[in-house]
Structures are given as C-alpha cells and as structure tokens.
Amino acid sequence: MAAHLSYGRVNLNILREAARKELREFLDKCAGSKAIVWDEYLTGPFGLIAQYSLLKEHEVEKMFTLKSGRLPSADVKNIIFFVRPRLELMDIIAENVCSEDKQHSPRDFHILFVPRRSMLCEQRLKEQGVLGSFINIDEYILDLIPYDGDLLSMEYESAFRECYLENDQTSLYHTAKGLMTLQALYGTIPQIYGKGECARHVANMMLRMKREFAGSQNQILPVFDTLLLLDRNVDLLTPVATQLTYEGLIDEIYGINNGYVKLPPEKFAQKKQGEASKDLPTEPKKLQLNSAEELYAEIRDKNFNAVGAALSKKAKIISAAFEERHNAKTVGEIKQFVSQLPHMQAARSSLANHTSVAELIKDITTSEAFFDNLTVEQEFMTGVDTDKVNTYIEDSIAQKDPLIKILRLVCMQSVCNNGLKQKVFDYYKREILQSGLLKPQTSSRNNYPTIRKTLKLWMEDANEQNPNDISYVYSGYAPLSIRLTQVLARPGWRSIEEVLKMLPGPHFEERQQLPAGLHKKRQQGENRTTLVFFLGGVTYAEIAALRFLSQMEDSGMEYIIATTKLINGTTWIKSLMDRPESQTP
Amino acid sequence: MSFITANWNPLGEAFYRKTELYEMSWNLRDGLRDSLVAAAPYGGPIALLREPHRRSPSSRPQLEIYSASGVDIASFPWKSGPVVQLGWTVSDELLCIQEDGSVLIYDLFGSFKRHFTMGQEVVQTQVLEAKVFHSPYGTGVAIVTGSSRFTLATNIDDLKLRRLPEVPGLQGKPSCWVVLTQDRQTKVLLSNGPELYILDNTSCTAVCPPGFSPQVGNIVQMAVSFSYKYLALFTDTGHLWTGSSHLQDKLSEVDTKKTPTPKHMVWCRRPKSQQPSVVLMWDRLLLVAGVCGDTIQYPSNQFPLEDPCVLVGELDGVRIISSTNQELLQEVPLVCQDMFKIASMAPGALLLEAHREYEKSSQKADEYLREIKEQSMLGEAVRQCVEAAGHEYDPSTQKSLLRAASFGKCFLTDFSPDQFVTTCRELRVLNGVRENGVGLPLTHTQFKQMTLQVLIDRLVYRQFYPLAIEMCRYLKIPDYQGVSRVLKHWASCKVQQKDLSDDAIARAVCVKVGDSPGVSYSHIAAKAYECGRTELAIKLLDSEARSGEQVPLLLKMKRSQLALSKAVESGDTDLVYTVVSYLKNEMNRGDFFMTLRNQPVALSLYRQFCKLQEQETLKDLYNQDDDHQELANYYVTASYREKRLDSRLSLLQSAIDEYNKAKNEFSAKMTEDEMRLLRFQRKLDDEKGAGLLGLSLQATMEALLSLGLHKQTEQLYRDFRVPDKRYWWLKLMSLAEKEEWEELEKFSKSKKSPIGYLAFVDVCMKSNNKYEAKKYVSKVTPEQKVKAHLAVSDLEGAADAAIERKNDAEMGAILSRCSASDRLLIDRLNRARAAAAKK
C-alpha cells in the first residue's frame, strides 16, 4: 500500500516504517487484547501510517471514538487512549475512566500522546484524580506524516493561526522536532535557508536541539542538500487564489482529506443499468488520491484545461491496448495479453473515475460564477483597481455568498495592495464585520507591483497545455513562494535582496557541520535535493509547481515538500476564524 | 632467567608463586593487631578500625581508609556505635555494620552517605557477627543476631530484608558460617558443632558433605571460593575437607596436623586452575594445602612473625596484607610455567632465549630460531611470549617478553598484531594503575574480568581524574563513554569544594567540560544544589543545552522567573505551560500577572489557556494590562454566550466603554449599532412575535421582508445606513423569492437601481420567470445588454446588441450558444465579425 512512498528521489517509506515500528512497540507494551479510543482528529493521519490490519495483528479488537460519558463495553484487557495533548480531551478521558471504575471491571488504561506528551495534561489528569489509573503514559512522535513520494505533512491545522494570531509557537516546536527526526533518518541537512519570522524561529530551535543531541552524532550520509523554510506569512496571496491544477481544483471544490476525497455519487453510477441507477448510489464516492495511481500521478499537476486532452489520449491508448487481443495469435501472445489484463483493467477503471471527476469539475469551472470570481482574482493579481472598493465583492456580500469566499477576495485585494486603505478597510469591515487577515495600509507606498515585476509573478502568456513556467498552475500567476524557491536554486537570493527586504520577516542562511567523511561526492549531473518546508500550510497548486520545477530538465534540483498542513484558501481562512457563526451584521 | 623462578614452590603438578606487590606506604604503630580490617577484592581500598570494642567516650576509635598500597586516603574518629564488621561495596563504598543492626555507608573519602538498618528487633538482640558478600545482584549484608537468627539483604541498593528460618538447636552464634550464592539464590551455610546446615529462604536443612566422616571432628572454619563453586571445611582435628559447594562432590581431604583454628582460611584458585588450593593462616604459619594433598608451608622466617596478616581472596589468587608489605600468592599461570620452567623447551621459552642471544649479537640466536621454525612453532612462540608478559607483574620481565615477541614477529608474515598491540596497551594501563600512588594492584586476569569501564569508574571514585582521562584517550574510548564520564564525575566533585567561589568553580567547570558530549550540566547543577550552592547551580544551568532538564531544577530551586525565561527560550510550549501553572500556584495574582507581562510568549500562551479554561481570569488579565481593545472584544464574545437580553446589552455597553477607551471608534460605533438592533428586534418580537432576536442586520431585514414588513425594513435600512446596493440586492432577492412580481416592478422603478438591471434579469431567471426577466432587459446598460439577452435566451436580441457594439468577443459568445437551426443568425454574426475584423 505504501510502495508509492519509495518511488521518489528520497525514500519516504523509511519514515513510515520507523513510525510503524514505534507503534508496534507501544502496542506490544500493553500485553493482551486491547481497544483503542481515538481522538477523532487523529484517525485520518494514522490511516496513512497503519491500517486496521496492523493494529489487529497486535490484538487491537475494538476501536471507539473518544467522547464523554461511559466507555462502550468491550471484553478487552487494555483500553488505550490515542489523543492529542489537549486539556479538554483530558477531561473527557477522566470522565471515561471515572465512570469505568464503578463497574469494577479490571481493565488496564494507557495513554498514547500524539505527537508529544505534555506535563500540563498529566497535571490535569492528576488534578482529576485519574493519573494513577494509567499503566503506561507514552508519547508517539508523529510529526511529519508521509503523504506521497515527495510530500510530508504534519496535519497541524491551526499552525498559522497559532503563530500569527495567538503568538503560540507550539507548532514550530513540533516542526523543529519533526525535522530533527527526519535528520536522524536521512542525515544532517548541511544547508538551511529561510524566510520569515517563524522560519527563523524553527531554524534557531533546530540548531539548539542539535547542540542538545551533541555526541549522538548520526553517521548517515545526508540525503537532503538543502532545507528551505518558508513562512506562509511571506506569501499570503497564493493560498487565497483559486488553484487551477486538477488536484488543486478537486481540493478547492470537494476537499481532500488525508489523501481521500468524497465526491457526489451521481456520476459514478453504473452506466449499464440505465434509468434505475439514478437512485442507487447515495453514499458519497470515496476516492484515494496519490501517486500510486499511474494516471492520477500523470494528470494531478496539470492545469485543468490540459486534463481533458490528457484523458482522451489515455483513453485511446487503453482502448488500443484492449484491441491488441485481436492481434494476439499465438498462445504465447495471448498469455502475455492476459497477464497484462489486471493492469489494463485497473487503468480503465482509473480512467473512468477521473473522467467522471473531470466532468464534475468542468461543470463548475465553466459556470459564470467561477469565471467572474477568477476574473476579479486576476484583476487583483495584475494590480487593477486594488485601492478601491470592488463591485464584485460588494455584490457578493449583498447576495450572501459564502463568507469565506468573500474573505478570500478581500484578503487577496489586501495583499495585492499591501494592505487596504483605511476607508476601504472600514467599508469592508462594516459590510462583513469579521476581522480576518485584513490590515490597514501602513506604508504609503504599495510595493506589491514591484514584487510582482521583479519576481515575474504575472506571466501573460502562461501555456496551460505544455507549461514552460510555474505560472501555469494559476493560469498566469506564478506563486510567490515557489518563485522564491526557484530563485534560491538559481541564481540565488542575493539577486533579489531588495524584494526579500520588502517581504515580511528576516531571511537567513545557516550551515550545519557534517561529521568528517559524510560530505557527499557529487556525481556529474546528479541533481541536488531540497526539502521545502512551508510553515503554515501549502496548496496543491504550489506542490504542482514544485513538481514541475523538479521535472524541468535543466533545473538540477529535486524538491521534497513538507508542510504543517495541506491547505486551500477555504480551509485556510476557516482555520483562522474564531466562530463563523458569531458574525455581527 | 632462573631468578624468576626463585619464589616458585611446587604444589602437586603445578607451581605456586608469591610476588611482592607493595611495601606498604602506611605507618601503622600497632600493626593490624586489635583492628577490624576490610580489604576489597580487585585491588580495592583497605579500611581499618582500631580497637572497635573500646567504648570509653573519651578515646574514640579511629577509622582509617587506605589505598591497597597503603596510601592514606581518609581518617576520622568513629563517633557512632560499636562496629561489628566493615566491608566494601562493588562501587567502593564502605559499609560499617554496627552492633545495633544499623549499617552506615561512607564513601572512599570518609564522608557519610546514608544508612539503613538490618531490622528493628536487632537493636535488642544485637548483631553477633556480620558478613558482607558480593553477588550478581550487587553487594549484600548478612548478620546473625543474639537470638541466633540470620537476616540477609541481597542488594543494599535495593534493600529487601529477609529473615531466615530458625536453626534447630543453635545457641548464640554458630561456630562458623559463610554466605553462598547458588542457582540465583542466596543461602547461608553454617556449622554448629559437628552439624552442618544449609539455610535458605524457607527452610533449614541439615546436610552432610560427601566423604565427610563425623569422626574428623567439629567444623570450626569454612571458606567458599571466589566463584562460590567450591567449599572448604576445617575441623578441630586439623582435617581440611574440600569439595563443591553443592556438596555433591568431594575434591580431597587433607590432614594438616594443626588443631588450632586458623585465623583465616581462603581459597586460592584461578580460572582453569590445575591445582587449586586452600590457604590457611595461623599466627606463625601460612599453609597452602593443595587439593592434591600436597602442601607448601611458608614458615615464619619468610613471614612477619608476631604481626597478624589479612588474606584477601581474589579471582586468581590471594593477597596477603601485613603491616609492612603486601604479596600476591597465586598458582603460576600455565604459560608462565612453560616459559620459565627450568630447561623448558616450549617454543616461547626458545624464542626468549633466541632474543637474548640476539641482543648479545650471538649467532646462537639463529640456532634457536631455526629450531622453532623447523617445528613451525614461531607463531605459537610469539603468542606464548605475549601471553606470559600479560601475567608478569614486573615491568622489566614484561618488556623482555614483549621484545622477544616483537623479535619473533619479524620472521612471520600474515601474523595479526592485534594481540600484541592490545597487550602492550593494557600492560601500560595496568602498570600505571599499579603505581604506588594509585595503588590498584590488578592482575591482567582481574582487569579483563572487571572491564575497562569499571576500572575507569574506580579511578574516578578515587579522584584520579587526569589519569582516567589520559587512559581514555590512550585507549581511544569514545568520548561519550570515556572522557565525558570522567568529566561528569569531576565536575560533580568540583562543585562540592567549599573553599572556592561560585564563579571560580563555574568557570573551571565550563572550561574543562565545555561542550563534551553526554555531560549534563543540569546533573552537575543538581549536585551543587544538593550541597546548598544554589547560585552556583544557576550559573551551571546556564550552560545546559537541554531546557527540558534546566527548567524542573530551576523550579525546584524556586527560581521560577528564570525557569520561565528558559522555558520560553526552548520553544517547548508545554514546558512554558508547566512553569506558568506552577507560578500560578506559587505567586499571588498580582505578581503572577506582572511576571507574565515580562514574558510576552508566556502571556499569550496563558491567554490561550484562559480563553479555553478560565474566561474570568482573562478579563482580569486584560484589566491588569489596561488592554481596552481586548477587554472590549472579551465583552462582545461574552455577550454572545448570554441568553438574557438585559445582561447582553449591559455587556455590550461595557464593550463600548472599552472601545472608546481604546480609541477604536469604529468598533464602538458597530457595537452601538448592535445594541440598537437588539433593542429594535426585541420591540418587534414583542409586537409581532417575529423571532428576530440575535439575527444579523441582513438576516433581520430578510426576515422582515419575508413577513411583508416593508416599512420596518425601510427603517432599518435608513437607521443603519445600509449601502444602497446591499439593500437593493436584498429586496430584489426577497421579492423574487416570494414571487411578488408586481412589487418588484414597482421597486425597480422607485429610483435608478444602484446594482443595475442585469441583476433583476438574473434573479428572475433563477426563479424561472422568463416573462418577468424580459421586462428588465431593456433597462440594462449597453455593456451588459448581450449578457441580459443571453440570460433570457434571446439570441436575436443579443446578436443585435453585439453587432451594434461591434464586439467580437460577445459575438463569439453568442455563436457558441447557437445551434444548427439558427443558420441565419450565425451567418449574420459571422458577417458582422468579418466586417469588424476588417476595421
């Protein structure tokens, strides 16, 4: 199931295996049959590490969701709580444990904190008088979860909010720890670049932790040459823009969760049954999306406008392959054909699925509303009228379009204008009264145009079918974050010193000493590997752009992507809102 | 080299030798007489308590601690109760077992560490005899009390007292007893007259050693071997029985013809011993009784007469300590016998001879070499020389053997030098620690058994830090296990030096320890704190890299502010929370808030915590900081939780006050509006039962419209200065939804639409009312005409508009909507396009 993790330049399956091993070790620590009580948030990420079968092998017989009240009865020896270290969860656990004691059943309790145990939580359990009931209190260090062959995520939803709105750097600490774990498995990363306050902070903590572990020098040949830490804060524009790659659009429209997407079932009905099929599938269709699926790997990062062509080309290849059987004359040829059959059938069903998905998306992208929205976005990005109240936004508010959609647009306008003018700001605020990312303009000059021009953020002639620049992922707009990455690789940040100064937060470079003898001897033409870490989230379109850079023949650089959370404009802004319902008129 | 065998004595097939280790450095006035003496094996230290039974308070007995070579380490007057027995633990701690059953533990330098007791009842019954023993579980203590009961503690570091069953018929103490560790069980073997008993946890069993006839008399002395495998029993008729300690085999029985009870009786064996023996000591005689039946007598002339001696059983021999010197008695290792036996023709011996001739430049060297080579025994010869060198105590003998080995090696190809190199290194280390000043007389066999790690520990216990570090470096031990460990010990010891200032110590420690891997500054700091040097501890903690270690100690030392800033530095928020919650309990509220104020990170974390857990505290916190903005926000949020309108309004009023203080006019104004709206809603709810309370302005207007309350809606629109656009949209959609088309038309004509008329078209179409939609098409601005026509599927109209505007894109859009039946229209559009393109 996890084979696709090992296809990439860096074998991320090592990380997954390490995580699985640790999980097995913990489970074996609690001898006998067990039931796991899950913090619901964790089930998704854990699914990427271990399926139920692994848990079953280690005598996990039941699984429950953590909720207050009494634990469901289960004839098991051990009850294990898998939880994030959160106080409110501790209260629930305490309640569970207390009501359990009354039944006089001799079940053993354990807690596994993910990703780290917390003195605060243990203190809370102690106050509740249940700390003594736990036989094992352990931590399961799951910081970076491998999502795909080149993608790691911490699935830490509130990271950006915590860092910028609440001044809480817990996520950065976990990031640094995660990077240390990564370095323990893949060797010390000799060069660290970064941009932004949080990046600086993470780098500082990493260097500090390295000192703490001094002595236990690891002797692994470094797999990564460079680490680039980027604050989401540096590029707020990209996440609010509508992604136009295939995968990006799936996420924008339906939301991809832990590698799965749920789609409306109608299009996936069995065609053969004709009319009757209409009311058959009511459950949403659940699709797993990763590079293990050959076709998906091929089209995920394409601009959606190029997906149709790719699909029809694929369809031709597949039907041609099926036609082959007529040419198969000898027994040997037939045998060979039959041996390829499962693969071809899988390809055919994959094609059918994605054709349906593409149809679903096309319905939306061809709609007027989508087009209008995109037009406004592109106006902002090219710097048209960013200093005035925008009519489209006004109309959207009046028409009670989803709040998040409005906020996305307003935020975008704000970013493209380096903050809104106080008058405009107040106007919007009055209109929606929900402070999000808007900020009053502080400096009198708008420097976005300079940034846009220097970094070539807007490409007029973006080629969607056969892209030659990363701007294809937004049909014209080249994500700032990725431009920074690209420039770092060549010609280097020194060339854009001025622009870097305009962007928030410091930029820096650090070197980590390698033990003697671990310096890589590079083969001629061998690519360098960079780990790009997005602090505060990354969008699928950005990932697509980085993959595109990796594949460019002359780039000489391969990118592995890591982030606190995979985001799109909607999920991102949602994570920043307090309580969406508490909106005043 | 005949002189090497000068101190050899044959015993059966084998030889025994007695080598002098040291002339003792001590100067004992009364020798070892009337003293309790404890000397630890593996060249351990010697403790001496003079006249332990003298009880007059005026003259307290003196407890003295010496190295094995007799160098004075510590000495102090014994102030506690009478001591029955002294003993050493495996980690060089001194155990003093008192008559009342309490055991006091001192370190090598005579400072008291801790104590424990062998049971409360012992205070009455008193300890008659005690023994300290070693087992795989650690160091143990066994006592026999005045009530003839035995109590055992197998491991003093994990104290579990075991009172053993009663021994039938035993009065007072047994005539002799030993502690045995067998089959993972600790037992006591004791004799009472002719009877022999084995005492274990549950039972007391009378036993009879095989071949032991009762006629040989009462057992008065017994000894177990170093490995607990063999047992020796001595009877009052002078018979010595030896056999396995399982009491299943007998080795031999020797009649020593000496009836007095020997002072000491110790096994003398070595691993793979050919000829083990038992060493017995009387006042004037040392007797080695081989299992073969042979004996060696070391008469008084070779032996200090009057002076009593102490025998220390070792892994591979017996050390004999007298007041003037110390000797090692051991069976000569086989390889040394081969090397040095007179007229030995062993290859090693020939090689040694060859080398000696070579040094004399004699051609005989060649003859010897040839002889060895002819038998192809040169490799074996080198091996023998190297091995024998390891067993020799005298450096010059070691050298000549190693030189011979080196010489022989020259004539060999493919001979691995490993053994030679290792032996050279190890001998250098051994010679170093055997030095009189250090005084660890270890044999090579003992060294191998105790391991290098333990040897380093032993040096560290004795505070030979530089030597230990030199050794680690010389033997190239990884820093983590070697130098760092030594430095850690050194630093922990350094911080206890009372005569140095905190600064001096901190500086010295930091300079020496630096960034050595694996040395924990917090560990050193904890030591300093234990000794009451808090300031020093804090200075040292500064160098600790791991905040997780720093913070708890700082809290323990009540340096909470510092702990907080360290926690913040670490970035570990859980750590910060821990300190914050600690501070919250420790400090009064005012101080607590002030402390947080200086730590913005901690403050914001605490705010987060309060938001989730303690809303009230949050208010206090903002109040304290005069943070009016946040306070106002707090009131607003609180108002949402409030069910009753009055309280809600009063909270909002507080919010307005705070917003005003914060000079946030905008928010104050908005909050005022909210209050106004709430009041308005209540009024309407009361009047019409509209159920508006809590809705947003937009939703309120919507609800009002859907109730047909146009006047009230209008009022809100004016009162709250709702932008025209929004109002128009709202009304438009609401009317369309209710399908009040007439009303809508009236509305559209009320004044010029601020949202244009395309919106009207779209909204009508959404309600599927093409008829109504068409009414508005004409009113649409020229730019939107085409769109409007298209919206009502009026292609002709759209085409007219587009052609008039000569807009290519629009024409294209219409074309894409045309179907084949619209032939004429398509032609027209194409023509217009072509015409427009020409221009």
- Among B605, B666, B677, select the one facing A168 at the smallest CB separation: B605
Q: Which of B695, B712, B715, B694 is nearest to B704 (CA)?
A: B712
- Asked if B606 contacts B614 with a C-beta cutoff of 8 angstroms, the reply is no
* pLDDT surpasses 70 at B680: yes
- Give the angle subtended at the CA of A139 by the CAs of A135 and A141, to the nearest 5°: 160
Compute the distance between CA of residue A210 and CA of residue B201 in angstroms, rounded to an integer: 52
Compute the distance between CA of residue B325 and CA of residue B314 in angstroms, rounded to an integer: 17
Q: Which of A281, A252, A235, A91 is nearest to A536 (CA)?
A: A235
Name the strand (E) or helix (H) holding B140.
Answer: strand B138-145
Question: How far A549 CA lies from chain B's nearest CA (Å)?
Answer: 34
Please state the φ and ψ torsions of residue B18, each to the nearest 5 degrees: -125, 115
**B834 three-class SS:** helix
Q: Structure tokens of A444? A: 């009198």
* pLDDT surpasses 80 at A214: no
- Asked if A575 contacts A166 with a C-beta cutoff of 8 angstroms, the reply is no
B677 touches chain A (CB under 8 A): yes
Residue B30: which residues within 8 A CB-CB, separation 6 or more? B50
**Contact criterion met (CB < 8 Å) for B545 and A429:** no
pLDDT for A274? 43
- Asked if B284 contacts B270 with a C-beta cutoff of 8 angstroms, the reply is no
Q: Structure tokens of B528? A: 């300093």
CB-side exposure of B179: number of CA atoms within 13 Å?
23
Compute the distance between CA of residue B618 and CA of residue B778 in angstroms, rounded to an integer: 60
B8 touches chain A (CB under 8 A): no
- Mean pLDDT, range A9-17, rounded to an integer: 82
Kindly report which listed range (B71-75, B153-157, B388-392, B742-746) carries the lowest average pLDDT score: B742-746
Q: Structure tokens of A250? A: 């799936």
- Asked if A222 contacts A187 with a C-beta cutoff of 8 angstroms, the reply is yes
pLDDT for B115? 92
- Asked if B281 contacts B260 with a C-beta cutoff of 8 angstroms, the reply is no
pLDDT level of residue B597 (50, 70, 90 thresholds)? confident
Handedness of CA B299, B300, B303, B309 (dihedral sign): positive
Question: How far B458 CA lies from chain A's nearest CA (Å)?
Answer: 24
| Residues in chain B within 8 Å Cβ distance of A398 | 725-726, 728-730, 755
pLDDT level of residue A105 (50, 70, 90 thresholds)? low
B816 touches chain A (CB under 8 A): no
Question: What single DSSP character describes residue B183?
Answer: T
**A318 three-class SS:** helix
Q: Which of B269, B268, B233 is nearest to B253 (CA)?
A: B233
**Contact criterion met (CB < 8 Å) for A215 and B729:** no
- Among A87, A394, A578, select the one facing B612 at the smallest CB separation: A87
Question: What percentage of residues in chain B have a pLDDT greater than 90?
Answer: 22
| Dihedral (Cα; B626, B630, B634, B635), 10-degree rounding | 70
- Asked if A104 contacts A75 with a C-beta cutoff of 8 angstroms, the reply is no
* A165 bridge partner residues: none
Compute the distance between CA of residue A147 and CA of residue A48 in angstroms, rounded to an integer: 7
Check residue B197 and give left, alpha or beta (phi > 0: left; psi -120 to 50: alpha).
beta
**Contact criterion met (CB < 8 Å) for A399 and B729:** yes
- Among B545, B575, B640, select the one facing A208 at the smallest CB separation: B545
* Average pLDDT of chain A to the nearest whole number: 79
- B203-234 pLDDT per residue, tens: 899 988 888 877 778 899 999 998 899 999 99
Compute the distance between CA of residue B701 and CA of residue A320 in angstroms, rounded to an integer: 62
Greatest alpha-carbon pair distance for chain B in Å reads 144
- Say what the pTM is: 0.68
**Contact criterion met (CB < 8 Å) for A173 and B571:** yes
| Residues in chain A within 8 Å Cβ distance of B571 | 169, 172-173, 176, 201, 204-205, 208
Compute the distance between CA of residue B326 and CA of residue B24 in angstroms, rounded to an integer: 7
Rg for chain A, CA atoms, rounded: 26
- Residue identified by tokens 């020799």 is B392
Q: Which residue of A has its CA nearest to B723?
A: A431
**CB neighbourhood size of B194 (10 A):** 16
Compute the distance between CA of residue A397 and CA of residue A415 in angstroms, rounded to an integer: 19
* Average pLDDT of chain B to the nearest whole number: 84
Compute the distance between CA of residue B634 and CA of residue B654 in angstroms, rounded to an integer: 10
* pLDDT surpasses 90 at A32: no
- Mean pLDDT, range A207-228, rounded to an integer: 76
pLDDT for B685? 79
Q: Structure tokens of A240? A: 């609010």
B630 touches chain A (CB under 8 A): no
**Contact criterion met (CB < 8 Å) for A394 and B545:** no
**Contact criterion met (CB < 8 Å) for B733 and A173:** no
Sheet containing strand B219-224, edge to edge, reads B219-224, B230-235, B239-244, B250-255
B128 touches chain A (CB under 8 A): no
Greatest alpha-carbon pair distance for chain A in Å reads 80
- Mean pLDDT, range A249-261, rounded to an integer: 86
Domains of chain B, start order: 31-186 (2.120.10.30), 339-582 (no CATH)
| Residues in chain B within 8 Å Cβ distance of A204 | 571
Residue bearing the bigger pLDDT, B818 or B507 = B507
Check residue B768 and give left, alpha or beta (phi > 0: left; psi -120 to 50: alpha).
left
Cα separations in angstroms, A152 against A142, A250, A533:
11, 19, 9
**Contact criterion met (CB < 8 Å) for B484 and A433:** no
Omega of the bond prior to A479 within 30 degrees of 0, cis?
no
Long-range residue pairs from B778-786, CB within 8 A, at least 24 positions apart, any chain: B779/B748, B779/B753, B780/B756, B781/B756, B781/B757, B784/B756, B784/B757, B784/B758, B786/B810, B786/B813, B786/B814
**Contact criterion met (CB < 8 Å) for B666 and A429:** yes
Length of chain B: 839
Q: Which residue of B has its CA nearest to A120?
A: B578
AA letter at B384 = Q
Compute the distance between CA of residue B206 and CA of residue B199 in angstroms, rounded to an integer: 9
Question: What percentage of residues in chain A have a pLDDT greater than 90?
Answer: 1
Q: Which of B303, B300, B224, B301 is nearest to B268 (CA)?
A: B224
Compute the distance between CA of residue A557 and CA of residue A529 in angstroms, rounded to an integer: 6
**A39 three-class SS:** coil
**Contact criterion met (CB < 8 Å) for B515 and A201:** no
- Among A87, A215, A578, select the one facing B517 at the smallest CB separation: A215
| Residues in chain B within 8 Å Cβ distance of A585 | 673-674, 677, 695-700, 720
**Exposed/middle/buried for residue A532 (C-beta within 10 Å: 0-12, 13-18, 19+):** buried
pLDDT for A468? 79
Please state the φ and ψ torsions of residue B190, each to the nearest 5 degrees: -140, 155
pLDDT for B609? 78
pLDDT level of residue B786 (50, 70, 90 thresholds)? confident
Question: How far B783 CA lies from chain A's nearest CA (Å)?
Answer: 15
pLDDT for A117? 81
B479 touches chain A (CB under 8 A): yes
- A450-472 pLDDT per residue, tens: 777 777 777 766 677 777 788 88
* pLDDT surpasses 50 at A182: yes
Residue bearing the bigger pLDDT, B214 or A497 = A497
pLDDT for A519? 65
Q: Which residue of A has its CA nearest to B552?
A: A119
- B296-335 pLDDT per residue, tens: 888 655 555 567 788 999 999 999 998 888 999 999 998 9
Q: Which of A123, A522, A202 is nearest to B575 (CA)?
A: A123
| Residues in chain B within 8 Å Cβ distance of A215 | 479-480, 484, 516-518
* pLDDT surpasses 60 at B729: yes
In chain B, residues 488-527 whose CB comes closer than 8 Å to chain A: 515-518
Crossing angle for the helix pair B573-586 and B589-597, to the nearest 10 degrees:
150
Q: Structure tokens of A232? A: 């989401």
In chain B, residues 678-717 whose CB comes closer than 8 Å to chain A: 695-700
**Contact criterion met (CB < 8 Å) for A215 and B484:** yes
**Exposed/middle/buried for residue B604 (C-beta within 10 Å: 0-12, 13-18, 19+):** middle
B665 touches chain A (CB under 8 A): no
Question: How far A99 CA lies from chain B's nearest CA (Å)?
Answer: 23
Domains of chain A, start order: 3-142 (3.40.50.2060), 147-235+459-515+525-572 (3.40.50.1910), 246-268+284-366 (3.90.830.10), 378-444 (1.25.40.850)
Which parts of B689-781 fold into alpha helices (H)? 697-706, 710-719, 724-737, 741-750, 758-766, 770-777
- B382-408 pLDDT per residue, tens: 999 999 999 999 999 999 999 999 999
Q: Which of A179, A145, A173, A11 is nearest to A532 (CA)?
A: A179
- Give the angle subtended at the CA of B800 by the CAs of B795 and B806, to the nearest 5°: 120
| Residues in chain B within 8 Å Cβ distance of A394 | 723, 725-726
Omega of the bond prior to A115 within 30 degrees of 0, cis?
yes
- Asked if B418 contacts B401 with a C-beta cutoff of 8 angstroms, the reply is no
- Mean pLDDT, range A513-535, rounded to an integer: 73
pLDDT for B400? 92
B672 touches chain A (CB under 8 A): no
**CB contact burial B203-234 (16+ within 10 A = b; e otherwise):** ebeeeebeebeeebbebbbbbbbbebebbbbb
Q: Which of A289, A242, A309 is nearest to A568 (CA)?
A: A242
Q: Which residue of B has its CA nearest to A578?
A: B637
| Dihedral (Cα; B334, B340, B341, B346), 10-degree rounding | 70
Cα separations in angstroms, B571 against A244, B576, B602, B608:
38, 8, 10, 16
| Residues in chain A within 8 Å Cβ distance of B720 | 585
